[in-house]
Amino acid sequence: MAKEKRHRGRFQAQGNGTEKSVPWTLVSPITKSHAYSSIEKLKCKLTQAELSARQDCFKKASLFIQRAPSYGISAFFKKG
């Protein structure tokens, strides 16, 4: 029997007409490397203007990932 994928979420860029995201669904909590990879995939979906408008947000997201526990963030977690 396969393990149930209970850890899911999405990295998203939204606002001012933008609604783009990169979802993930995993058996275990998302790793830092997977999170960084997902952010890079999201950046690739954005136009240069959308990316420029969100540079500070991407910096904050990267710092959040950097400070996260090495075992990942489990279950429900919402950054205020």
Which residue's entry shows tokens 């997902």?
38
DSSP annotation of 52 reads H
User: With bands split at pLDDT 50, 70 and 90, how would you rate the model's confidence at 8?
Assistant: confident
pTM of the model: 0.81
- Reply yes or no on whether the pLDDT at 69 is more than 90: no
Residue 73 to residue 58: CA distance in whole angstroms: 18
Quick: pLDDT tens for 35-44. Answer: 999 999 999 9
* 7 half-sphere exposure, CB direction, 13 A CA radius: 15
Over residues 36-68, the pLDDT tens digits come to 999 999 999 999 999 999 999 999 999 988 988
Q: In angstroms, what is the C-alpha Rg of the chain?
A: 13
